[in-house]
Structure 1
Amino acid sequence: MKAINKLINGFSRFRDEYYCREDSPFVELQNHQEPSTMVIACSDSRTDPSLILQCEPGEIFVVRNIANIVPPYEPDSMHHGVSSALEYAVKSLKVKNIIILGHSGCGGIKALMDNKLAPEDEFITRWLSILGSVRDKVIARFALDGKKASVEACAACEMEGIVHSMDNLMTFTWVAEQVEKGDLEIFGWYFDLKDGRILDYHEDSEAFEPLRPFCLS
């Protein structure tokens, strides 16, 4: 129960900070939200986008899943959680930015690279198969051929997975249309847990480079 008690106490501090003050942001937020940015991040407990990006309530619309994957556009009778959230963000909230936020040390990518996905898994293996072609590409580049994937190979797959999800975003016609009109921008960011940096994908160089914050002064 200690872990639960910590969460309860955390909620109490949250109420003190955001509800029990005269200028509470929830006076307006209780009626509507107008986030300018959607963040598609990993479910990993170490990579909370609101914490990493220091966002206040109402600033970002967040979807989290194993390995921060965006599936391709598949308008069938199956259930599509990420796609439905994406549709809501683009069509209803009219976000101006979509960030795919990946990270180092991703357990899902590691299992995919080492081919250690449990056969008894009901959902994870099928979900990660979206990145099957990415895995094959990285394995060929590093000439692994059944060998255990190195940290460098896993990092390459993590980054390639971000780019693959960025490409998948463009298979949604209503995303592509907004991008082409200049009303929506797509970013691929990679959070390095070791040194706390974010690397930003540059399409022109096809490489991830350190994100350089704008000077606020």
Structure 2
Amino acid sequence: MKTFDQMIDGYRHFRSSDWQEQRERWAQLAEGQSPQVMVISCSDSRVDPAQILDVAPGEIFVLRNVAALVPPFETTPGRHGVSAAVEFAVQFLKVKEIVVMGHGLCGGCQAALTQDLHGNEIGEGGFVAHWVDMLDDVRGPIAEKLGTTGREAELAMELAAVKISLQNLMTFPYVDEKVNSGALSLRGAHFAISDGILRLLDPETGEFTAAE
């Protein structure tokens, strides 16, 4: 894997090729952004939404965090990074769609399922444990049916995490208002690293099926 110094060589290539070839596009982006879609995805280095969805700069507003999770709306003191990003996308950029995209082999979902980090001190997994504990309610049924290890249980948790984030998005008053008015739609997706298949959530059936 590349070091950051090696990545600077990649920047130099970008600056002399793609950036030069798309000067008009970059000039437009310098005037502002107007993406129609927000994508909430995992920080995992293997799942870059821009690459998976084959989009150019300026086409998606991206928020990435551990396990692509959205906490419920709250106004307690603190630094609400996810809430700030959702607010900016919905209220200022006025995106028309929000896509929550989970993925296969997600370490955050594995941590939620096994609870190996629960009880750990801050700096030793405590932050991660507290973040993924928003999946505790769905963990119980999955663990009871499928156990806490193995790909089947992990996949069930990954898909459940997408649904939880979508449910939590609806606790934001302005998201709920715009969804109900038809100005905004919420979508769920799951990208499988091993086979490259993107599965989309059917809101009617609650099932994920491969994108055609």
Same fold by TM-score, threshold 0.5 exceeded? Answer: yes
2:151 alignment counterpart: 151
The answer on whether the counterparts of 1:40 and 1:99 sit within 8 Å (CA) in structure 2 is yes
Query: Any idea what the Cα deviations from partners look like across 1:133-183, whole Å, max 9, x if unmatched?
Result: 1212211232x3xxx411100100000010111111100010011111111
1:136 alignment counterpart: 140
2:208 alignment counterpart: 208
RMSD value, Cα = 1.6
Shift of 1:25: 1.2
2:50 is equivalent to residue 50 of structure 1: yes
Gaps of 5+ in 2: none
1:125 alignment counterpart: 129
**Paired residue type of 1:124:** V
Gaps of 5+ in 1: 213-217
2:5 is equivalent to residue 8 of structure 1: no
Fraction of identical pairs, as percent: 38
2:65 alignment counterpart: 65
Q: What CA distance in whole angstroms lies between the structure 2 residues aligned with 1:22 and 1:186?
A: 32
Shift of 1:204: 1.3
Shift of 1:8: 0.4
Q: What CA distance in whole angstroms lies between the structure 1 residues aligned with 2:171 and 2:92?
A: 19
Query: Any idea what the Cα deviations from partners look like across 1:45-77, whole Å, max 9, x if unmatched?
Result: 000001111110000000000000011001111
Shift of 1:18: 3.8
Higher helix share goes to which structure?
Answer: 2
**Paired residue type of 1:84:** A
TM-score (norm 1): 0.91
1:116 alignment counterpart: 116
**Paired residue type of 1:101:** M
Shift of 1:23: 4.1
